[in-house]
Amino acid sequence: MRTLKDGSVKFKPSTLKAVEWMQQDPQPMRSMRKKTPVKIYSGGGWVKAVVVQWHSTGITCYVPRNAKGKQTVTVRDNRNIKTEDSSK
């Protein structure tokens, strides 16, 4: 976010894109094959992961470089997971 000389506020394009992404309607969890490369959103931003397990309540992913030290993460919201090819 940047404040311009005239007092107006200008947001970074990435911020606007992230807000737009999270404003979409919640959708049912999609099914994904094991070992599918994905990106998941966790507090600090999008991180690379690999699908380990899929079930109706969420998708469990293995995160090789997780700052929190936890190696597996369960994603329960469809907006917080993207396939690698769709995120380009």
15: domain CATH number is 2.30.30
How many Cβ atoms are within 10 Å of 25's Cβ, its own excluded?
A: 6
Q: 40 is in which domain, residue-wise?
A: 2-87
Residue with token string 């507090």 = 43
Which structure tokens are listed for 53? 């397990």
Give backbone dihedrals phi and psi of 20, rounded to 5 degrees, phi first. Answer: -60, -40
Q: What is the pTM of this model?
A: 0.65
pLDDT per residue, tens digit, the chain (88 aa), is 778 889 888 877 777 777 777 787 777 778 889 999 999 887 777 889 999 998 888 899 998 876 667 688 888 888 888 887 764 4
pLDDT of residue 88: 46
Interior/surface letters 36-71, b for 16+ CB within 10 angstroms, e for the rest:
bebbbbbeeeebebebbebeeebbebebeeeeeeee
Q: How many domains does the chain have?
A: 1
pLDDT at 50 (0 to 100): 93
Decide: 56 and 29 in contact? Cβ < 8 Å.
Answer: yes
